[in-house]
Amino acid sequence: MDAVPLRRCWGIAVGVAIVGTGCVGPQLIPRGQAPDEPLAPTGKIVIKESLPDPLAPAAPKSPVVPASATGSPRRELSALSSPLRDKQIQVAAFIGTDVVITDDEVWQMVRQRAPEYMELFGAEQVAKEKAVYREELRKLVERELIILELHSRMKKNKAEDKIEGLNEHAREQAARRLNEYRKSRKVDEADFVKILRMQGLTYNGLRRQLERDTLVQVFLEQMLKDKARFVTLNDIWDYYAANPKEFALDEKVKWLDCFVSFQRFQSTDDAKEYAQNLWRQATQGGDFVEIVKKSSHGDSVLRNGEGLGTKKGEFQPAELESVLLELPEGQISPLLQTATGYHIVKVVESRKAGTRPFDGKVQNEIRAKLTRQLQSKEYDKMVDDLWRRYRPRVVEQ
């Protein structure tokens, strides 16, 4: 079940050029904050913290508290993390005295969306970067609010002993996803770190992002899993009946095209004789695709034999349309003469226009969609409540 709304999912963006990463993000007005309540302390809040250098030689393991800490020491970092360097950390937002979100953490999220603004220029690019910064800062605040609520409920239910197990699960999931990504790109850890650095990202920052996302996923799955039970068959039918366009089927023909060009022969008769020979091969059980690859003069050779166009008004050449719309599925046409040569076509798949039936597949699709809508509403309601209760503050830049 897809418990997390798509607009709040984060991913890995590797191989993207980064533009304008030095901007300072705009202020954010938190949902649920009282109008007369101050936004946050003015000016920059800076924390001096030691951060690991993933490419430096290994050093003795020691607990390191990340920039966005929750108040408790974090487990030792991986072998990629070692000797520490000093860095000034600028705070973007904080929740109480336990949670800090740094400006750098927000920018690591922004840089993963670089394609949205990297092609822009000047004021337009700056405006888009600021908008993305605001969105990502809000997402990070929401993420930390949910994790705070998760820990609060576990403590309330006297399940503190399970928190470390949950954190271990998050670490394992993050490591698995990172390993899968590296393997799919066939790079080792050192090269992976270099790729991230080229984008202004860090290995440990990305790993932390995946760990925190896992915690959010676990909480939301538990909180929202029962919402599917509220979608009844009547709800599904009402949606189906109210949205006929969503389930409409266009007329579609998938076909193969073997073309014999007049230009390749001394006369049209020679071209016709060549085409008739290919037609006999095809109708006597020959592999139509292989015939096209070996003997056709058209560009369908580049598409594994497939003809151009799938519905009325799209077929090329247009003279073939009437035949393609009437030819039964699996059938081979006679020789079809056009201004440039002969075509032999075979219809592989033919579907008439209509409406998808109200079968199990359609019902499951509608149920999933309605469930996501319910979950999204519940998520927004929950997050609004968390903003009011925890009162996160954004540092004015």
Q: Judge if 68 and 101 occupy the same domain.
A: yes
Residue 59 covered by a domain: yes
Q: Judge if 199 and 291 occupy the same domain.
A: no
- pLDDT reported for residue 397: 60
134 CB-near residues (< 8 Å, 6+ apart): 25, 26, 28
The answer, yes or no, to whether residue 387 has pLDDT greater than 70, is: yes
Once rounded to an integer, what is the mean pLDDT over residues 363-390? 93
Nearest alpha-carbon partner for 82 in 64, 107, 106, 59: 59
Instruction: Please return the burial class of 103, using the count of CB atoms within 10 Å of its CB with bins 0-12, 13-18 and 19+.
Output: buried
Predicted confidence band of residue 352 (pLDDT cuts 50, 70, 90): confident
Q: Judge if 255 and 203 occupy the same domain.
A: no
**Secondary element (H or E) of residue 34:** none
- The answer to which of 16-30, 35-49, 176-190, 354-368 has the lowest mean pLDDT is 16-30
The one-character DSSP state at 90 is E
Domains held by the chain: number: 2
Tokens of 107: 């920018």
Q: Look up tokens 């023909």; give the residue.
A: 253
The one-character DSSP state at 316 is B
Residue 363 covered by a domain: no
Write b or e for each residue in 21-53: b if 16 or more Cβ atoms lie within 10 A of its Cβ, otherwise e: eeeebeebebbebeeeeeebeeeebeeebebbb
pLDDT above 70 coverage of the chain, percent: 77
The answer, yes or no, to whether residue 36 has pLDDT greater than 70, is: no
Q: Is 15 left (phi over 0), alpha (psi -120 to 50) or beta?
A: left
- pLDDT reported for residue 357: 93
Residue 107 covered by a domain: yes
CA geometry: angle 143, 147, 149, nearest 5 deg: 115
The answer, yes or no, to whether residue 19 has pLDDT greater than 60, is: no
- pLDDT reported for residue 88: 64
Q: Judge if 154 and 31 occupy the same domain.
A: yes
Once rounded to an integer, what is the mean pLDDT over residues 256-264? 95
Q: Judge if 258 and 293 occupy the same domain.
A: yes
Q: Judge if 131 and 203 occupy the same domain.
A: yes
Q: Judge if 28 and 155 occupy the same domain.
A: yes
CA distances from 392 to 68, 99, 385 (A): 14, 9, 12
Once rounded to an integer, what is the mean pLDDT over residues 34-43? 37
Which residues constitute the domain of residue 317?
Answer: 251-352
Predicted confidence band of residue 287 (pLDDT cuts 50, 70, 90): very high
Once rounded to an integer, what is the mean pLDDT over residues 118-125? 91
